[in-house]
A = this chain, B = another copy of it.
Amino acid sequence: MSSFTDLWREISDIGGSPSEGYVRFAWTAVEWELRTWFRAQAKARDLEFEVDGNTTMWATWNPGGVPGPAVVTGSHLDSVPHGGGYDGPLGVVSAFLAVDELRRRGVVPARPIRIAAFAEEEGSRFGVACLGSRLMTGAFDPERARTLTDSDGVTLAEALAGYDFDPARLGPAPLSDVAAFVELHVEQGRALTVPVGIGSSIWPHGRWRMDFTGEGNHAGTTLMGDRHDPMLTYAFAVLAANKEARTHGAHATVGRVAVHPNATNAIPSRVTGWLDARAASASTLDDLLSGLSAKIATRAGKDGTTVTITAESTTGEIGFSDALIERCLTTLGEKTPVLPTGAGHDAGVLSAFVPTVMLFVRNPAGVSHAPAERADDEDCEAGVEALADVLAELACR
């Protein structure tokens, strides 16, 4: 059995299973198990273990005791509800194995190599994606973070205190300590046909709330011609978003809906749907949204309903470091695919502040955020090799 298979197996029972998926939310008993595992891995390798004020875990390899900024790798350990096991943990497991590999090769880095595990990357518990890295970069206000509440009404400050983390320590950390950041991640959309690729950018993306308002009424007695049924306009919007995305070569999804009163025998008075849309360029995304909005407005006119579409969050394109992409290509071979992703990552947050790049490992099914998410062990081993190569390149030259 390979070292990857062994180390992977150590966490594969924590917070779920490959068949049922994983529920690994930040600052819970399950995450604490993963934190304990991380600490043990650092200790087993004689790496310096540290937890910073944002509860990011760090394991530092600095055999020469050299000062100066570090080459950072890693990812996150939390999951979406019933998500796959690879999104996040693959980057952390691979980081430890890459250090092992560098040692096996006899590499002595000229600057520190640090492994990071950021907290609450998925935003599954408190609703803010990449919260740990956003706090680190100052992109999210720690005062606001402390008052975020989970679905049980627990504040983030309370959740931290429950594990003896000090909520007062949340906040920006000096990024001058970071020379470069390399995040290895499972690819999430069947975009890779070889084991490993290099990330170029994160697609512009956004979330829009679509509020459809009609007239609540009796499902049995209201004449079809008298109805103002917002469910019809919602259904049209779902299909139109799919069609617009295909037309534009973009991605659009309506995965969340709320209905009032949500009763079998009542025409709803109100339906709210959330649109997630992403595209390779901001102008494509704008075109998609304006085309879709116009079509929905026309349909609402026919349905006798009203619709308002509100942006809840939008993010422009995030390009990774051209210089790092070049050095990855030199190291891994010029034929290595360079590809964008539609997903957000801690690497996307950090890239505004420090040179950043991502490595992707092939996902044969193209499934992510669901139990069927996976990567072959052989591809994961190739990912470890590639990460070791890139870390050697960045930490030794």
Residues on A close to B: CB < 8 A? 80-82, 187-191, 203, 205, 207, 215-224, 226, 229, 231-232, 234-236, 238-239, 242, 245-246, 251, 253-257, 259, 261-269, 274, 276, 278, 341-344, 366-372
Are A218 and B238 within 8 A (Cβ)? no
A205 to chain B, nearest CB (A): 6
- Known A222-B188, A256-B259; contact A216-B265, beta-carbon cutoff 8 A: no
Are A189 and B218 within 8 A (Cβ)? yes
- Please list 17 pairs of residues, one from A and one from B, whose beta carbons are closer than 8 Å in the complex, sorted by A's number: A80-B263, A80-B265, A215-B372, A217-B369, A218-B369, A219-B253, A219-B276, A219-B278, A220-B343, A221-B341, A221-B342, A224-B245, A224-B246, A231-B255, A255-B267, A255-B268, A257-B259
Are A264 and B207 within 8 A (Cβ)? yes
Indicate the member of A221, A269, A341, A367 with the most B CB atoms within 10 Å: A221
Please give me the residue from chain B that is nearest to A342 by CB atom: B220
- Known A251-B222, A256-B259; contact A266-B369, beta-carbon cutoff 8 A: yes
- Known A255-B219, A343-B221; contact A366-B265, beta-carbon cutoff 8 A: no
Are B269 and A370 within 8 A (Cβ)? yes
Are B215 and A370 within 8 A (Cβ)? yes
Chain B residue contacts of A234, Cβ below 8 A: 235, 238
Are A188 and B221 within 8 A (Cβ)? yes
Chain B residue contacts of A219, Cβ below 8 A: 251, 253, 255, 276, 278, 369
Are B223 and A190 within 8 A (Cβ)? yes
Number of copies: 2
A371 to chain B, nearest CB (A): 8
Please give me the residue from chain B that is nearest to A260 by CB atom: B82
Given contacts A80-B263, A190-B222, A216-B370, 11 further A-B contacts (CB under 8 A): A80-B261, A188-B218, A215-B367, A217-B370, A220-B343, A221-B341, A224-B245, A226-B366, A255-B264, A266-B369, A269-B370
Are B265 and A276 within 8 A (Cβ)? yes
A222 is contacted by which of B232, B259, B265, B366 (Cβ under 8 Å)?
Answer: B366
How long is the Cα–Cα vector from A372 to B228 in the complex, in angstroms?
A: 13
Chain B residue contacts of A256, Cβ below 8 A: 259, 262-264
Chain B residue contacts of A264, Cβ below 8 A: 207, 255-256, 274, 276
Please give me the residue from chain B that is nearest to A219 by CB atom: B253
Are B246 and A255 within 8 A (Cβ)? no
Are A216 and B369 within 8 A (Cβ)? yes
Please give me the residue from chain B that is nearest to A371 by CB atom: B216
- Known A215-B370, A223-B191, A368-B218; contact A261-B82, beta-carbon cutoff 8 A: yes
How long is the Cα–Cα vector from A269 to B188 in the complex, in angstroms?
A: 16
A226 is contacted by which of B190, B257, B341 (Cβ under 8 Å)?
Answer: B190
A318 to chain B, nearest CB (A): 13
A81 is contacted by which of B81, B257, B263 (Cβ under 8 Å)?
Answer: B263
How long is the Cα–Cα vector from A232 to B170 in the complex, in angstroms?
A: 42
Are B255 and A257 within 8 A (Cβ)? no
How long is the Cα–Cα vector from A222 to B342 in the complex, in angstroms?
A: 8
Chain B residue contacts of A235, Cβ below 8 A: 234-236, 238-239
How long is the Cα–Cα vector from A86 to B358 in the complex, in angstroms?
A: 64
How long is the Cα–Cα vector from A293 to B301 in the complex, in angstroms?
A: 28
Chain B residue contacts of A217, Cβ below 8 A: 366-370
Chain B residue contacts of A263, Cβ below 8 A: 80-81, 255-256
